[in-house]
């Protein structure tokens, strides 16, 4: 496998006892068929993509910095405009909600004054 952590004994038969080479080959096949061996082999097969990503990361970083320095003022003003629109929309929604609650409160008060239903001494004191 990568000849880094695990030496390749299969091709070095003249340096090792044949039984050692045979045992090593069985261990090697067992490792390759296990989930850890499969994952290690997947990392080995994708190593070119990993190295390319590491090499391209600074390039993408510098491109992003260049774009941000070119358009930073525009992006900042867009953020300010969106925040202002959000504040205005929030104020309008709050005003409409207040109007709705005010009308609901007036209707409930009028109902209590006219019918007296559901009113207690405390309601009469508060509502008139």
Q: List pLDDT tens digits, range 99-119.
A: 888 887 776 665 555 555 555
Residue of 98 and 108 predicted with greater confidence? 98
Residue of 22 and 97 predicted with greater confidence? 97
- What is the separation of C-alpha 101 from the centre of its chain, rounded to a whole number of angstroms? 39
Q: List pLDDT tens digits, range 22-62.
A: 777 787 777 777 887 778 878 888 889 999 999 999 999 99
pLDDT for res 1? 46
pTM comes to 0.37
- Using the Cα atoms of residue 77, residue 78, residue 81 and residue 83 in order, give the sign of their dihedral: negative
Residue of 14 and 32 predicted with greater confidence? 32
7-20 burial code (b ≥16 CB/10 A, e <16) = eebeeeeeeeeeee
Burial of 31 (0-12, 13-18, 19+ CB in 10 A): middle
Q: Is it the case that residue 91 has pLDDT exceeding 90?
A: yes
Q: What is the percent of the chain with per-residue pLDDT over 90, rounded to a whole number?
A: 30
Residue ranges of domains in the chain: 46-127
> In the structure, what pLDDT confidence band is assigned to residue 87 with cuts at 50, 70 and 90?
very high
Residue of 5 and 98 predicted with greater confidence? 98
């Amino acid at each position: 496998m990568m000849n880094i952590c695990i030496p390749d004994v299969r091709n070095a038969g003249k340096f090792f006892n044949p039984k050692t080479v045979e045992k090593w080959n069985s261990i090697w096949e067992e490792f390759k068929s296990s989930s850890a061996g499969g994952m290690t082999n997947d990392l080995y097969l994708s190593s070119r993509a990993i190295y390319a990503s590491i090499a391209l990361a600074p390039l993408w970083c510098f491109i992003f910095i260049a774009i941000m320095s070119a358009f930073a003022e525009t992006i900042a003003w867009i953020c300010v405009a969106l925040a202002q629109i959000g504040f205005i929309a929030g104020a309008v929604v709050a005003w409409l909600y207040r109007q709705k609650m005010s009308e609901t409160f007036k209707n409930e008060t009028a109902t209590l004054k006219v019918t007296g239903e559901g009113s207690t001494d405390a309601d009469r004191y508060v509502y008139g």
